[in-house]
Amino acid sequence: MHGKIFALGLLLLITPIASAKDRTLVAEGDYIWTKTGDKPLSHWQLWHLSDGNYEVVDTSTKNASSVQIFRFDPQFLPIGYTKKVGPITKPQGSSVRVIPGWTLSCQYEGRELICDATSSEGHKSTTSIAAKPPYVVMGEFYDLNFAWFMTGVIRLASRNGAKDGVVNVYALTNGDRADDISLEPDSPIKIVFTGDETAQVMGKTQVVKKYELELNDLSVLRVTSQGLVVSVSNGSDQVEFAMTGYKEYEPWGPTR
């Protein structure tokens, strides 16, 4: 997938998260990069909302103002994505003291994908595209939680018992005017189911499903029975990204 340059700058989420009384924390954990000694990238919390949907709130370890929200329906199919960063105050003496933030929120509305961006300085931009299901949206987010993103992709590709499948991708790009956003089709994602294996995952021995994914290089994804991608390995099967520190407070998973 070639991806598109998405130079909106930093993004700030101001889309409200469901209040505590409308949601229940069912699980949480950490997302790590294993190439440098299990470097923590973010901490995530999985919430079950009162309407039956799910919401993953993923907060960057390095920058607490960088938050991603992955939204899923009761079947754990992705229905939206939101991203925030900033505003960020630079150190004294810097030529730019404050980097403005942005709001970006995308909704999967059946055959239409709608995205809105709003800067902390008041600039707003809305774009939409006729979308062919199943689909997801991507931008060049340097800290994308790839495991949660791919959880949605695999749920879409393997629903109805399919062993492999293709998920369409729409890329966020620059609009015609400065700081505006646009959407356009990108290369689809194809995953292939390669079998089950027993592995030590998230603190216990369990059976996981293996999928192969070809983007820039071959990746191997291991997925729990709940549908959560718990590790991303390269073609040599060396784990590059993984979930760790998993805690489950209530049973959760897609309804059939």
Average pLDDT over residues 151-166: 86
pLDDT of residue 20: 57
pLDDT of residue 14: 32
**Least confidently predicted of 149-158, 182-191, 247-256:** 247-256
119: burial class by Cβ within 10 Å (0-12, 13-18, 19+)? buried
Gyration radius (Cα) of the chain, Å:
18
**Least confidently predicted of 81-90, 132-141, 200-209:** 81-90
Query: Whose structure tokens read 């949605």?
Result: 152
Higher pLDDT, residue 25 or 20: 25
120: burial class by Cβ within 10 Å (0-12, 13-18, 19+)? middle
Listed residue (123, 116, 80) closest to 100, CA to CA:
123
154 within 8 A of 227, measured Cβ to Cβ: yes
pLDDT of residue 8: 37
pLDDT of residue 47: 97
Average pLDDT over residues 52-77: 95
Judged against a pLDDT cut of 60, whether residue 3 lies above it is answered with no
